[in-house]
Amino acid sequence: MQYTRLGRTGLKISRLCLGTMNFGMVADETTSFGIMDKALETGINFIDTADVYGGPQSPDMEQGYGISEEIIGRWLAQSGRRERIVLATKVYQPMGTGPNDRHLSAYHIRKACEDSLRRLQTDHIDLYQMHHIDRATPWEEIWQAMEQLVREGKVIYVGSSNFAAWNIAQANETARHRHFLGLVSEQSLYNLLTRTVELEVLPVCEAYGLGVIPWSPLGGGLLSGALRKAEAGRRASSGVKVAIEQNRTKLEAYEHLCTQLGEEPAQVALAWLLANPVVTAPIIGPRTTEQLDENLRALEIAMSKETLSKLDEIFPGPGGAAPEAYAW
């Protein structure tokens, strides 16, 4: 396993992050335990979850259930595992039907943290991430709540997810004035098909020393050989079928290139992210231990300049960082 620092911190994390959104939904508890056991065995020490993950939304689609955290908590309760991992979870999404059971008020941050600690059966969260920007809550209130959790030892580092570049700059400048470390990571949608973050989010993360943790690195499965699987008669959701048709030309060229390289499409997509020096650790979401083993191959793939250039031709990004990407 390869390790790197999380942004500007001294914390060392594995180059692949184990995502657990499938735990409790696609993967049952036994399978989830097996995936985490295998991850730990292979050297993956970075596990990401969220309070809202792990189960179907309620009938009114207004709240999560915390099932993923509960599964991880029961796994952590087995001796010796907690201190071997860097544990990340999130706050923001609705976890109840009350008006204060969501977003980033100090009230909700405190309650959500206590609830996550209980479900995870731990006394601290290593990386507590804001799942989305809360435009209605001032940064002074958010940082006051986070600072209190850090003082109490319940949270070690604070990160963001799905933030715009100016949100990150505003958050860290406010934290600087409060003599607080501020954001140390940003979890963003980033893959070969979706490269918008290259305009401003990646540059601001590099400037402020935030680790970049891409989610959906396989583009919802489109970059894992979706075209080949469809042609082989594998079932796909109606949404995936539509997306395949919308991207058929790109996927044909991509899967042909992967065949030429002698590598599986999913591993090439992960290796492309790992080749970016700004990227810290893509989040993988294996549904089985076999898929986890397959993802590990990405760490061994060396991306040549020629391959990177061909991938840019197939999946052209926005043209680099703003404003040069669209102006002189």
Catalytic center residues: 53
Q: What is the DSSP letter of 222?
A: T
Count of H helices and E strands in the chain? Answer: 12, 10
For 93, the token pair is: 């999404």
Calpha distance 325→328 (Å, rounded): 8
Of the CA atoms within 13 Å of residue 215, those in its CB half-sphere come to 17
Calpha distance 72→47 (Å, rounded): 9
Please provide residue 193's backbone torsions phi and psi, each rounded to the nearest 5 degrees.
-85, -25
Please identify which residue in the block is written with the tokens 């049952």.
Answer: 28
Q: Note the maximum CA span of the chain.
A: 58
Other Cβ atoms less than 10 A from the Cβ of 143: the count is 20
For 240, the token pair is: 């995936």
Kindly list the distances between the CA atom of residue 291 and the CA atoms of 26, 31, 72, 234, in Å, as whole numbers in the listed order: 13, 12, 19, 16
Non-local CB neighbours of 70 within 8 Å, separated by 6+ positions: 24, 54, 119
Give the closest residue to 277 by CA, choosing from 88, 5, 44: 5
Calpha distance 269→280 (Å, rounded): 15
Contact 103, 92 (CB under 8 A): yes
Please provide residue 228's backbone torsions phi and psi, each rounded to the nearest 5 degrees.
-60, -40
What are the residue ranges of helices labelled H in 46-200? Answer: 67-76, 106-120, 139-151, 165-177
Q: What is the DSSP letter of 87?
A: E
